[in-house]
Amino acid sequence: MSSVRTLRAGILGAVLLALTACGAGQSAAPVAAPSASSTTSSSQSPTTSSPVPSASAEPSSPSAAPPAVEPPASDTAAPAAEPPSDLAAPPTGPVLPAAAPTALSVPAIGISSPLIELGRNADGTVEVPSLDDPDSKPGWYRNSPAPGTLGPAIILGHVDSREFGPGVFYSLQNMKAGDSIEVSRADGTVAEFVVDEVESVQKSEFPTLEVYGNLDHSGLRLITCGGEFDPDARSYESNIIVFASLAGSRSA
């Protein structure tokens, strides 16, 4: 009994630290200076091999391959000016036309919530939902592709609030490969994603291109915080990231 309690206490401590994610304000993000900042640091930065799918595809290769799916309907996030030069490789999975996401459902961890929209803060960091709302909603980062279109759609939610306990993504780290994620969209369709993997990463080594880089399919990333909470910075030291791919769609 006592050993159980001890064990639980130990786990409790560990889990409390490990489960919750990110903090307010001065995050661990090293580059917070707003304007002409320059930081150059020596580090064993992660070998970020870019996930550019067509890196090896020379202009000659996409010959007679029929466009299996309709091309990435230029959604709100696509640079309107010029078509992608070499990114002509057809998507490897289903791709939906652009439509704004309206709600998120993650049965495995009991999430069913409307979505808000998030932008980018003046310092370049991603806007997050309110940390002081006990009923804080997850949000779609509007500068990312709409869920269901080609590329990495980004949805962020809090692991906890400042004062009100667990947030909507409190249990995100319990997700597993194969779990389903559904995003309802303004066009009346539901984009059905399947989880590929769940990662916990140090914020100081945030794998930018792995999370935000180009994809050859329609992807989704759910992001929250994890790791230890730094009370001085009021920030968690890690991010929990769920990587998922579009498997199909249906009418709502």
Report if residue 73 touches other proteins, rule: CB under 8 A. no
Residues 33-72 that bind other proteins (CB under 8 A): 34-50, 52, 54-55, 72
What's the CA gap between 243 and 223, in Å, rounded? 9
Strands 101-106 and 111-114: antiparallel
The amino acid sitting at 223 is: I
Residues 89-128 that bind other proteins (CB under 8 A): 116, 118-128
Q: Which of 199, 131, 125, 127 is nearest to 159 (CA)?
A: 131
CB 70 within 8 A of CB 97: yes
Contacting residue, 73, 166, 199, 245, with other proteins by CB under 8 A: 166
The size of the interface with other proteins (CB under 8 A), counted in residues, is 117
Contacting residue, 17, 89, 100, 247, with other proteins by CB under 8 A: 17
Report if residue 84 touches other proteins, rule: CB under 8 A. yes
Contacting residue, 2, 163, 178, 250, with other proteins by CB under 8 A: 163
Report if residue 6 touches other proteins, rule: CB under 8 A. no
Report if residue 181 touches other proteins, rule: CB under 8 A. no
Report if residue 19 touches other proteins, rule: CB under 8 A. yes
Neighbour count for residue 135 (Cβ, 10 Å): 11
Closer residue to other proteins, CB minimum distance, 75 or 192: 75
Contacting residue, 181, 183, 215, 220, with other proteins by CB under 8 A: 215
Length of the chain (residues): 252
CA 199 from centroid of its chain's CA atoms? 11
Neighbour count for residue 206 (Cβ, 10 Å): 19
Stretch that binds other proteins, among 63-71, 80-88, 100-108, 185-193 (CB under 8 A): 80-88
Report if residue 252 touches other proteins, rule: CB under 8 A. no
CB 148 within 8 A of CB 218: yes
Q: Per-residue x/- mask for other proteins, residues 141 to 160, rule CB under 8 A?
A: xxxxx----xxx-x-xxxxx
The amino acid sitting at 214 is: N
Both structure tokens of 64: 């007679």
3-state SS of 167-196 is CCCCCHHHCCCCCEEEEEECCCEEEEEEEE
Report if residue 187 touches other proteins, rule: CB under 8 A. no
Measured distance between the N- and C-terminal CA atoms of the chain, rounded to whole angstroms: 50
Neighbour count for residue 155 (Cβ, 10 Å): 25
Closer residue to other proteins, CB minimum distance, 239 or 249: 239
**Smallest distance from other proteins to CB 223, Å:** 5
Contacting residue, 99, 214, 244, 246, with other proteins by CB under 8 A: 214
